[in-house]
Chains A and B, each alone.
Chain A
Amino acid sequence: MVRKELPLAITFITGGIVILANFLAPAWFVQTNKDITVWYQIVTALFCGLGVVNLCRIHGKKVSQKREGWPFSVVMLVSMFGFMLIALYVGQQHQLYKNLYNNTIVPLNATMYSILVFYIASAAYRAFRVRSAEATILLVTAAIVMLGKAPIGEAVLGSWVASWTTWIFDVPNTAGMRGIQLGATLGGIAMALRVLIGIERAHFGGTGGE
C-alpha cells in the first residue's frame, strides 16, 4: 500500500502546490512553492550521481569478469575518477582545471557530435530519393535551404535563394512547426495531468514492489 500510494500522494501534493501557487496564489502556497523550487533544485542536482553509479556498476562488473573490451572500461573508470579527483582538488578556477576543460572535455564533446556530419552526408546520398511528390517537396526545400543559408547560393544563383529560404522558414515552416507544436503542447499538458493524478505510473517501473 505505502509503496504505491505514498509516491502517488507526494506527486499529487507537490504538483498541486505548484499549480495553486501559480493560479490562485494564496500566500501560503506561494511561499511553499518558492521553498520547494529550491528543494527541486537540490534533488535534481543530486540525481547527477546516478550516471556515475550506473557506469561504475556496469563497467566494474565488466572489469571484474574480464569481459571483452574490459581494458576500455578501466580507461573509462580511470578517466572519470581522475577528472573528479583533479577537479575537486584544484577547483574550478585553477589553470589545470581550465586546461583539462578546454583540451579534454571540449574537443571530446564537440568532435563526438561532429562525426554526425559524415553519417548525415552518407545517409542523404543513399536515402534522400525523389520517390514521391512528398519526398520531392522535402528534397527541394532542403536543397533551397542549404543553398540559401550558405553564401555560395546567393553568390552563384542570385539573391532569390536567400529570399526563398527566408520565406520557407517564415511562412510554411512556421505553419507546419506551429501545427506540430500545438499538438505537442496539448500532449505534454495531458501527460503532466496524467502523472499528477496518478493515471501514468510507468516511471515507477523497475523499482521493485507492487
Chain B
Amino acid sequence: MVTTNWWLWLAAFFTVSIYTVAFADNNLFRFVESIFVGTSAGYMVTANWFNYIKPQLLNVQKGQYVLLIPFLIGLLVYTRYVRSIAWVSRISLAFTLGYGSGFILSKNFRPDFLTQVIATFRTLDTFNNWLLVFGVITSLTYFLFTVEQKGVVGYASKAGRWVMMIALGAAFGSTVMARVSLFLGRVQFLLTEWMFLVK
C-alpha cells in the first residue's frame, strides 16, 4: 500500500535521495541538493516579494514617495558587483549596521544582562539558588583573562569549567535529541503519508 498522490511521491523521492548521502556521496544526492539550493533561494525571493516588497511598492504607487529612499538604499547593495562603483554598496551596509548597532545598544542590555544578574541573586533561600549563584560566578571567573588564574581565582575558574561542562553536556544531549527529532519527522512522513504503514 503506497499513496497514489504523486506530490507525496515527489516528497518521498527527495527524502530518500538525500538520505543516500549518509552511505556514500552520489549523483542522485547532488541532483537533489541542487534542487534544494535552487528552490530555497527562489522561495526566499518570492516570500519577500509577496509579503513585503510588493505591498510597499503599492504604497509608493499610492503616493508615499519617501519610501523610494529606502528602496534606493537597498538596491545600492547590488553595486558591489560593478567593480568601479562597488564602494557605493557600503551605504546600504552602513545604514543596516548603524540601525542594527543602535538597536542592540538600546534593547539588549536590560533583558539580557541586568535582568539576568538580578534574577541570579533574587532569592538565596534554597541550596539550588546558592548553587546557581556559585555556578554563575565561577563560570564568569573562567572568562576572567585579565587576572592570573592562580589561588582562589584558579579554583573558582576550575569549578566554573566544571559547571560549564555540565551545561555543555546538557547542550550535547539536547543537540542529539534535536537531530533525532528531525529524522523521526521524515521517517514518520515516509511510513505514515507515503507508505501507509503507520496510522
The reply to whether chain A is a binding partner of chain B is yes
| Chain A residues in 8 Å Cβ range of B90 | 3, 6-7, 204, 207
Do B94 and A192 have beta carbons less than 8 Å apart?
no
A19 in the interface, Cβ–Cβ < 8 Å?
Answer: yes
Do A145 and B173 have beta carbons less than 8 Å apart?
yes
| Chain B residues in 8 Å Cβ range of A186 | 113
A103 in the interface, Cβ–Cβ < 8 Å?
Answer: yes
Which DSSP category, helix, strand, loop or mixed, fits chain B's interface?
helix
Give the size category of B's interface with A: 35 or more
B residues at A contact (CB < 8 Å): 7-8, 10-12, 14-15, 18-19, 21-22, 30-46, 48-50, 52-53, 56, 66-67, 69-71, 73-75, 77-78, 80-81, 83-84, 86-87, 89-109, 112-113, 116-117, 120, 128, 131-136, 138-140, 142-143, 160-177, 179-180, 182-183, 185-186, 189
A residues at B contact (CB < 8 Å): 3, 6-8, 10-19, 21-23, 35-53, 55, 57, 69, 72-73, 75-84, 87-88, 91-92, 99-118, 120-121, 124, 133-134, 137-146, 149-150, 167-183, 185-186, 188-189, 192-193, 195-196, 203-204, 206-209
List 20 interface pairs A-B (beta carbons < 8 Å), by A numbering.
Answer: A8-B94, A15-B99, A39-B67, A39-B73, A45-B74, A79-B38, A92-B46, A103-B8, A104-B39, A106-B11, A108-B18, A179-B138, A179-B160, A179-B164, A182-B116, A182-B140, A185-B116, A189-B104, A189-B109, A192-B102
